[in-house]
Structure 1
Amino acid sequence: MKHSFKASWEEIEENPELFVSSICTSLQSQFLVMPKGNGFIEYPIFERGYEELKQATNGFTEFSEDKISPTLFKIPISIIVLRSILGFTPPEWAYITTQRTGIKVDQGFARSLDRKIRMNPFNVLSPNGVLKSRLDAMIRVACQLLSEEVTYVGNKNLHRLDKADTRQGLDGVQLLSTIGAPYAMLLYERFLGRPFASHRDSVSELVGDTLESAIEDVLTSYKISYRKTKRAERIPGFDQAPDFIIPSEYNPQIIIEAKITEDDGTARDKVTRIQHLSELSMAGQTNGVPKYEVIACIDGRGFGVRREDVKKMLLATRGKVFTFKTLSNLVEFSRLKEFAIK
């Protein structure tokens, strides 16, 4: 099957579906392997936090702020274990704390604390100042929630604490921690999320970096001048900075947009972005020649389930769509060869 970047514009216009199939066939899903990134909590570390919390509460039978607080300040990873029992995100825990206590705990504080603990899970927290008042409030609310049975919310709704371990308040937590079930592992997987979704969200940029790094390797190997932009960077002439500009933002001749995604919604957003860049290029054309060439480098299941969007991207880039599998052709079959030094 012929690749779109090897075809003429006439061939693409005549039978775009053929080339959409070619692109989709070469896509590879990356969802089975994720980078750990900074702040990844290994299970033995999480389990230690679980055991410390279990001992501090006498097997979850004495669940009070006075019992828990000293341990959480001394062994901060226990805070993440407690959050995992609740099944809340840091901002959710902060919100319900503010709601129940009147003590303002904003989501920025909750996220920063969570990040600080993941980076240094055993660094003792200073038990004074704003940190103490906010964290004590969060602990107090956690104890309240886990000491209550779940409120009935009707047949058409589901309570967030209606889980096997928290449905009956602390009785369920105590039971799971003593019947021989690997409760610490259950909590660890809940911490990582659906499964591993919370971690996947936290390293989403690192996942994308693998493709961008591969593109940089190709450009560097051919000694091509390029400008890789930073997230949210402002570049004159662009309402949103492209991922790569060749040779520079002062004389853009080639634009490369890169994206790996397993989510079809994110894939759609990237296609829309590429279409917009194509429109900007055509608006700045001279004598029928586009202002710059737009190249798409993509991969992941998210694009594979959106054939119509891949077709739009194919037409917007005039066939210049590459995947991980075809990235070795990037220079030879694009205007990049004009800037290559072999």
Structure 2
Amino acid sequence: MKYPFEVPFTFIEANPDVYISAVFSCLESEFLVLPKGNGFIDYTVFETGYEVLKRVTNGFQNIEPVPITRAAFQNPMIIIVLRAMLGFTPPEWAYVTTQRTGIEINQGFVRTLDRNIRMAPLTPLGSGLIKKERVEALIETACQLLNSPVPEVESDKIHRLDKADTSAGPSAIRTMSSMGVPYAMLLYERFLGRPFAGHRDSVSELIGDSLESAIEEVLTKAGVSYRKTKRAERIAGFDQAPDFIIPSEFNPQVVIEAKITEDDGTARDKVTRVQHLASISLAGNPRTPKFEVIACIGGRGFGVRREDMKKLLIATRGKVFTLKTLDALVEFTRLSEFKTK
């Protein structure tokens, strides 16, 4: 079976299904393995914070803001544990705190606080007045929520704190902390939240970097001049900059989009992005593209919708590569014109 980049474009137009299947056959997914990245919290570190919180609350008998705040500045992992108990993202916690206390806590502050703790979980927090006021407000809000039973909501809704450990206030927390968790409930809450969802979101760029790094290695090995763009960078002639421009943004002859996704909906959006690059290339003279468009893809999301893959093959005129076929990237594209090694 030949890959689409190995045959004339007319072959793909005449029988696209064969080449869709060829690309599908070499798509690989790494969704079972995630990079840890900077700021990954090992369980032992998380458990240390949990045990300190449990101790300063007397086994969750007294969930009070003053002793918790005092302990949190010395053991900042307490803040991460509190957020896990609430089940909130940092911005959600900041929003609820602002609403309840009137102290303005923006997303930038709470994201920075969260990241700083994850980067150095055993380092005490600084005690600047503004930071102290905001941290106190966050912890005060957490204590209010954890000390209260879940309010009743309409039958077609569910409250975010209606979880096994927070549905009935402190008594539920004490029960969960002193006995084995019912496995069915643990599985149910995991089903609602997806295992490692928060961590996966935080390292999404690293997941994409693996493909981009492989492309850089291929280009460098062949001595091809290239410009790798930065996230959200503005490049003249492109409303959305491609990931790689060869040889430079001043004379784009080849552009490469590197995309990994495990979700078919996201894959569709990424295909649309490549189609848009192709339309820019063909603007003015459909018979003579301004530059060649190449797609390097990975993840099971691209292997779901055959129609989306067909669109990708048409937009790139068959120049679709995966990690498995990346070693052919230079040989079967216009990149060969810029090879110096």
TM-score by length of 2: 0.95
2:318 is equivalent to residue 319 of structure 1: yes
- CA positional deviation for 1:125: 1.4
Q: Tell me the equivalent position of 2:121.
A: 121
Q: Secondary structure at the match of 1:325?
A: helix
SS in 2 for 1:289: coil
* 1:284 Cα deviation after fit: 4.7
Does residue 155 of the first structure (1) align with residue 155 of the second (2)?
A: yes
CA distance in 1, matches of 2:252, 2:126: 51
Match of 1:40 in 2: 40
- Unpaired segments ≥5 residues, structure 1: none
Cα displacement string for residues 195-228 of structure 1 (whole angstroms, at most 9, x for unaligned residues): 0011111110100000000001111111111111
Letter of the structure 2 residue corresponding to residue 321 of structure 1: V
CA distance in 1, matches of 2:107, 2:217: 38
CA distance in 2, matches of 1:135, 1:147: 18
Deviation at 1:297, TM superposition (A): 0.3
Counterpart CA distance in 1 for 2:2 and 2:68 is 64
Task: Measure, in 2, the Cα distance between the counterparts of 1:305 and 1:71.
Answer: 50
Residue by residue over 1:66-87, the C-alpha shift from the partner in whole angstroms, topping out at 9 and shown as x without a partner, is 2211111110011000110111
- 2:106 matched to 1:106? yes
Question: RMSD of aligned C-alpha atoms?
Answer: 1.7
Alpha-carbon distance in 1 for matches of 2:217, 2:165:
49
SS of 1:245's partner is: strand
- Distance, in Å, in 1 between the alignment partners of 2:145 and 2:273 is 44
Identify the residue that residue 167 of structure 2 maps to in structure 1.
167
Render the CA deviation track for 1:110-144: whole Å, top value 9, x for unaligned. Answer: 11110111111122113341111111111111111
* Matched residue, 1:331: 330
Instruction: Measure the CA separation in 2 of the matches of 1:284 and 1:211.
Output: 32
SS state of the match for residue 245, structure 2? strand
Q: 1: CA distance between counterparts of 2:182 and 2:113?
A: 27
| One-letter amino acid matched to 2:160 | R
Aligned length in residues: 335
The 8 Å contact of residues 275 and 312 in structure 1, kept in 2 or not, is answered as: yes
The aligned runs of 1:175-214 (5 Å cut-off) are 175-181=175-181, 194-214=194-214
Residue in 2 aligned with 1:262? 262
Q: Which amino acid aligns with 2:54?
A: K
Separation (CA, whole Å) in 2 of partners of 1:135 and 1:42: 23
Q: Quote the Cα distance in structure 1 between the aligned partners of 2:57 and 2:67.
A: 6
Shift of 1:265: 2.5
1:1-342 pair list within 5 angstroms: 1-181=1-181, 194-285=194-285, 288-342=287-341
Offset at residue 266 of structure 1 (A): 2.1
Which residue identity does 1:105 align to in structure 2?
I
CA distance in 2, matches of 1:80, 1:307: 42
1: CA distance between counterparts of 2:132 and 2:251?
53
Q: Deviations over 1:150-171 (max 9, x none)?
A: 1111221101010011111111
For 1:63 and 1:239, how far apart are their aligned partners in 2? Answer: 52
Q: How far is 1:9 from its partner? A: 1.2
Contact (CA 8 Å) 1:90, 1:107: kept in 2 or not? Answer: yes
Return the offset for 1:10: 1.1
Supply the distance in 2 between the matched residues of 1:33 and 1:55 (Cα, whole angstroms): 35
Q: Tell me the amino acid that sits aligned with residue 129 of structure 2.
A: G
Q: CA deviation at 1:181?
A: 4.8
Deviation of 1:263 (Å): 1.8
Paired residue secondary structure (1:326): helix
Q: In 1, Cα distance between the equivalents of 2:142 and 2:171?
A: 15
Other structure's SS at 2:175 match? helix
- Look up the equivalent residue of 2:260 and give its one-letter code: I
Determine helix, strand or coil for the equivalent of 1:242: coil
Following the alignment from structure 2 to structure 1, what is the Cα–Cα distance between the partners of residues 209 and 65? 42
Deviation at 1:285, TM superposition (A): 4.0
Q: TM-score, normalised by structure 1?
A: 0.94
- SS of 1:255's equivalent? strand
What SS does structure 2 have at the residue aligned with 1:23? helix
- The percentage of aligned residue pairs carrying the same residue is 63
CA deviations on 1:269-305 (whole Å, 9 max, x unpaired) are 211111111111111548x321111000001011111
| SS in structure 1 at match of 2:324 | coil
The CA deviation at 1:321 is: 0.3
- CA drift of 1:182 comes to 11
